[in-house]
Chain A
Amino acid sequence: MTSDPWTRKDLLGIAELSTKEIELVLDTAESFREVSERPIKKVPTLRGKTVVNLFFEPSTRTRSSFEIAEKRLSADGLNFSSSGSAISKGETLLDTALNLQAMAPHLIVVRHSHPGVPHMLAERLEAGVINAGDGAHEHPTQALLDAFTIRQHKGRIEGLKISIIGDIEKSRVVRSNIHLLSKMGAEVTLAGPRTMMPAAVEKMGVSVAYDLDEAISGADVIMMLRVQLERHSRMAFPSAKEYFNLFGLTRDRLKKAKRDVIIMHPGPMNRGVEIASDVADGRDSVILEQVFNGVAVRMAVLYLLSGASQGEA
């Protein structure tokens, strides 16, 4: 266990974190996982602290995970949601932020479809800002809970072969995962259709494959990403059926992976598009554990940031 304390006011992304900081979050999350296993799943640690959940984009999964985490820490969580851009309601992001500031929250958890929004808020607000997903840029708590889950099953991250498969370009989690897993010494391979692979992505220190079997072969961990095909204007892929044939993870194709491979998915899943049901529900799948671990990891993040932000009061 590390003993360097957490000093950042905000958690905006994984790119700027050191391995020690990442390990501190994961180690702290261990303690909170234990809290989640008690009969009374509550500690008084953030009692009296206000946490604002500012979700500009609907997200049942991430938001409820944060809400549970806040409740278990005895914090007062306030929910603000607005669908679509605040502009359409006549109020700019900055005005929303200043109004919030007037309520003096301790922490703000923000989710937005545009990259850079948490940074804008962090610069202008005294409260600590936690990025719960800014478009396709970063989703740090997701990467942390993924790493926590991997560590639980494999005991380590270093040296593992990890394949991330799907719509890499539009994924909101993949960049954070690449940063974290690479920093912790894993070998990361991205795989997906050429039309869904972002430009120059090898510069992030990953291998790229355009063939599912190549990506699966020898993998310790397989992370499947949600593929959204409804937006046909993207012209990225002709149909769900074609996608499933080329890149869908089935029991059969899984035979090429290591015997103790674990299957992950950030959710929500498109059964029968990127992943077959028998794989999603099978013995290699740790998808539900990811959700459980999400609460512990978010409790750890809230705990660590609440100390750093009050230091400036």
Chain B
Amino acid sequence: MKLLVRGGRVVDPSQDLDGPFEVLIEDGHIAQVAERVKGIRGAQVYDATDLVVSPGWIDMHVHLREPGQEYKETVRTGMLAAAAGGFTSIACMPNTKPVIDNRSVTEHVASEAKKDPHARVYPIGAVSKGQKGEELAEIGDMVSGGIVAITDDGLPVRNAELMRRALLYAQHFGIPVIQHAQDLDLSRDGVMHEGEWSTRLGLPGIPGSAEDVMVARDLILTEDTGGRYHVAHLSTGRALDMVRGAKARGLAVTCEVTPHHLLLTDKAVADTGFSTQTKMNPPLRTESDREALINGLADGSIDAIASDHAPHHSDEKNLEFSLAPFGIIGLETNMSLCLEKLVRPGLISLSRLVELFSTGPARILNLPGGTLLEGTPADLTLFSLKRSVTVRAAKFQSKASNTPFEGWRLRGRPMATILGGRIVGTPPTA
């Protein structure tokens, strides 16, 4: 089975490519990437004129809600949402019911994804049994079941000794420990960033220090253990500075940021009149934090952009701000948001954006994708820089519609994904 993708602009940061190349796919793998490929007889042709052709995008932080909360999202609907958003791979979080803390739940999630696959789903396992923060989960067994990292995301690994053990133990399997950095005592009953706007609105705040003290602690533990540590949804300038410093000292530290932390600030809570679509954890921070994160994208301190796609039922978000659950979805908006708000104004290059969504996450999680290197699985994302889309959550593949970006008009959108050499299908038109 041969597939020739021609006419597009190929951007592959892993090989430093950006130009009018052709990609030949054979038997589900990349066979050739060249200005003019050879041996195209018998190949199906995909006309990628006016499109960008890149390694398949990877979202390394997605909540799929299965098992246990399928009313919010399932593996299947999450996968469809990923494909609609231009993603060929997603990594899913273990805070389900039951928690993904053993091999059989891991295998359940992985096998659900393999029925009629629209994207690759890589489960992430829990650090502790039941995410209770007490004992290590059966990490080795879960690795056999296919996990690519461990985290207690949703919650921090609160106990320093447990984090130390996790950083040591994970090294047996070559997987990173992902931390949701939040000191629960400092964050108390906070529902938004503690600062000028929480003061004006009279809402209890989550101070930036709640994230920073935990990152500081964990970096010391990482240094002592030699482990691999990844900060999930990093949101403060100060935590970013610490990560930058750790990298400079040679520690195996990586981090991701979400598009909403790059685009919105705590003032959005006031501007939207307490809309619960501005409530997430970590919360939207200050303008200076936001600017620091954008600088971190450009200077390489940040390794990946990930959505922290957190679907909730509309009844759940239709509550008083203080009571609504944290989180917004992102799979079906994030490509367009990043193209419109980061690449178009020239804050980062297109190649850098692709890197943040492909090479970066692939390296962190040790995935085979994120590249168009010959011989690798043929996962590609094709997108348009010119076509516009208006965000309409009602049309999403996701079961959920909790997004603050409803109605935003964005230029740049996914057009198709190719998974293992097979065209997955075009996302719905705007």
- A residues adjacent to B (C-beta < 8 A): 15, 85, 87, 92-94, 112, 114-117, 119-120, 123, 134-138, 169, 172, 175, 198-201, 203-204
CB distance B203 to A87 under 8 Å? no
CB nearest neighbor in B for A12: B273
Which of B109-117, B313-321, B340-348 has 4 or more CB atoms under 8 Å from chain A? Answer: B313-321
A contact residues around B298 at 8 Å (CB): none
State the CA gap A261–B194 with chains docked (Å): 35
State the CA gap A113–B341 with chains docked (Å): 37
CB distance A199 to B323 under 8 Å? no
Task: Knowing A112-B320, A114-B322, A115-B322 are in contact, say whether A199-B202 is a contact too (CB < 8 A).
Answer: no
CB distance A115 to B319 under 8 Å? no
List 16 additional A-B contacts (Cβ < 8 Å) besides A85-B320, A114-B321, A201-B196: A85-B323, A92-B319, A94-B318, A114-B323, A115-B203, A116-B201, A116-B273, A134-B202, A135-B203, A136-B203, A137-B202, A138-B202, A199-B194, A199-B195, A199-B198, A200-B195
B170-220 CB contacts (< 8 Å) to partner A: 194-196, 198-203, 205, 207
CB distance A200 to B199 under 8 Å? yes
CB distance B319 to A137 under 8 Å? no
- Smallest CB–CB gap between B324 and chain A, Å? 10
Task: Knowing A175-B200, A199-B195, A203-B196 are in contact, say whether A116-B323 is a contact too (CB < 8 A).
Answer: no
State the CA gap A171–B259 with chains docked (Å): 35
B303-334 CB contacts (< 8 Å) to partner A: 315, 318-323
CB distance A201 to B201 under 8 Å? no
Indicate if B408 sits at the interface (CB-CB under 8 A).
no
B contact residues around A172 at 8 Å (CB): 202
State the CA gap A200–B208 with chains docked (Å): 13
CB distance A175 to B198 under 8 Å? no
- B residues adjacent to A (C-beta < 8 A): 194-196, 198-203, 205, 207, 273-274, 315, 318-323
CB distance A93 to B321 under 8 Å? no
A contact residues around B320 at 8 Å (CB): 85, 93, 112, 114, 116-117, 120
CB distance A116 to B200 under 8 Å? no
State the CA gap A172–B203 with chains docked (Å): 11
CB nearest neighbor in B for A174: B202
A contact residues around B200 at 8 Å (CB): 15, 175, 204
State the CA gap A202–B205 with chains docked (Å): 17
Q: List 21 A-B contacts (CB under 8 A).
A: A15-B200, A85-B320, A85-B323, A87-B319, A92-B315, A112-B320, A116-B201, A116-B320, A116-B321, A120-B274, A123-B273, A134-B202, A135-B203, A137-B201, A137-B203, A138-B202, A169-B199, A172-B202, A198-B198, A200-B199, A204-B199
B contact residues around A201 at 8 Å (CB): 196, 199
State the CA gap A116–B199 with chains docked (Å): 14
CB distance B202 to A135 under 8 Å? yes
- Smallest CB–CB gap between B287 and chain A, Å? 12
- Smallest CB–CB gap between A171 and chain B, Å? 9
B contact residues around A136 at 8 Å (CB): 202-203
CB nearest neighbor in B for A200: B196
CB distance A116 to B196 under 8 Å? no
CB distance B322 to A199 under 8 Å? no
Task: Knowing A94-B318, A137-B201, A172-B202 are in contact, say whether A199-B207 is a contact too (CB < 8 A).
Answer: yes
Q: Indicate which residue in B196, B198, B321, B323 contacts A87 across the interface (CB closer than 8 Å).
A: B323
A contact residues around B319 at 8 Å (CB): 87, 92-94
CB distance A92 to B322 under 8 Å? no
| Shortest Cβ-Cβ A-B pairs, 3 listed | A116-B274, A136-B202, A137-B202
State the CA gap A92–B320 with chains docked (Å): 9
A contact residues around B199 at 8 Å (CB): 169, 175, 198-201, 203-204
A contact residues around B202 at 8 Å (CB): 115, 134-138, 172, 175
Q: Indicate which residue in B194, B203, B273, B315 contacts A119 across the interface (CB closer than 8 Å).
A: B273
- Smallest CB–CB gap between B55 and chain A, Å? 43
- Smallest CB–CB gap between B3 and chain A, Å? 51
CB distance B195 to A115 under 8 Å? no
- Smallest CB–CB gap between B198 and chain A, Å? 7
A contact residues around B196 at 8 Å (CB): 199-201, 203-204
B contact residues around A87 at 8 Å (CB): 319, 323
CB distance A199 to B205 under 8 Å? yes
B contact residues around A203 at 8 Å (CB): 196, 199
B contact residues around A135 at 8 Å (CB): 202-203, 322
B contact residues around A117 at 8 Å (CB): 320
CB nearest neighbor in B for A112: B320
State the CA gap A70–B45 with chains docked (Å): 76
State the CA gap A200–B193 with chains docked (Å): 12
State the CA gap A15–B201 with chains docked (Å): 10
CB distance B321 to A115 under 8 Å? yes
A contact residues around B203 at 8 Å (CB): 115, 135-137
Which of A85, A116, A135 is the most central at the interface, judged by chain B CB atoms within 10 Å of its CB?
A: A116
State the CA gap A15–B270 with chains docked (Å): 11
B contact residues around A119 at 8 Å (CB): 273-274
State the CA gap A155–B246 with chains docked (Å): 62
State the CA gap A203–B199 with chains docked (Å): 10
B contact residues around A112 at 8 Å (CB): 320
- Smallest CB–CB gap between B58 and chain A, Å? 37
State the CA gap A136–B202 with chains docked (Å): 4
A contact residues around B322 at 8 Å (CB): 114-116, 135
CB nearest neighbor in B for A86: B320
- Smallest CB–CB gap between A84 and chain B, Å? 12
Q: Indicate which residue in B194, B201, B318 contacts A115 across the interface (CB closer than 8 Å).
A: B201
State the CA gap A115–B198 with chains docked (Å): 10
State the CA gap A175–B196 with chains docked (Å): 12
State the CA gap A194–B323 with chains docked (Å): 28
